[in-house]
Amino acid sequence: MESTDLMYTILSLATIIFILISVIVYRSKKTVESDYNKKMKKLRQLLLKGKLDRKSFLHIRDNLKVEDLFGDETQRLDNMLEQKSIDSETHNRMKKILNMTFNEKMEKVNLKYNYIDLNLETKNNNIRFPS
């Protein structure tokens, strides 16, 4: 084996390694952000610019956490139904329970930051009295 053959082999391997590393770096930067992360970035920017006070930031952040958790759990329930791990009756019951716990957590967050529950009016409008 001559030195030129060795040089061509090393150059071709170095080129392949460089291309692979470039692809890995490109794909790592191209990762998809979740909606929660996008909203949190916007919130942080608003807080840093002074357009949002600290109390409102914390309230919205906690609401986003609860909503994100609710979305994840709802997706899991739907996946379980699609995979037929649970039947539709169980899915409906678990979804109702999930909705109740979501509402409770949202009320706790609102009480924690002394925000009036603006959904109270809509809840009262949904109540139907027998005629």
Q: Transcribe 55-101 into DSSP letters.
A: HHHHHHHHHHHHHHHHHHHHHHHHHHHHTTSS-HHHHHHHHHHHHHH
- pTM of this structure: 0.59
Q: Residue 79's pLDDT is what? A: 92
Across 37-58, average pLDDT: 88
d(CA 31, CA 62): 25
pLDDT digits (tens, 9 = 90+) for 60-110: 999 999 999 999 999 999 999 999 888 899 999 999 999 999 999 999 988
Q: How far is CA 86 from the centre of its chain?
A: 24
Q: Are 77 and 94 in contact (CB under 8 A)?
A: yes
Q: Are 58 and 114 in contact (CB under 8 A)?
A: no
Maximum alpha-carbon separation in the chain: 99
Q: Using the predicted structure, report yes or no on whether residue 21 has a pLDDT greater than 60.
A: yes
Domain extent listing, the chain = 1-30, 35-125
DSSP 8-class letter at 131: -
> How would residue 118 be classed by pLDDT, with cut points 50, 70 and 90?
low
Q: Are 85 and 61 in contact (CB under 8 A)?
A: no
Q: Residue 120's pLDDT is what? A: 46
d(CA 78, CA 121): 30
Q: Residue 4's pLDDT is what? A: 80
Range of lowest pLDDT (11-25, 30-44, 87-101, 111-125):
111-125
Tallying the residues shown for the chain, one arrives at: 131
More confident of the two residues 35 and 120:
35
Q: Are 34 and 59 in contact (CB under 8 A)?
A: no
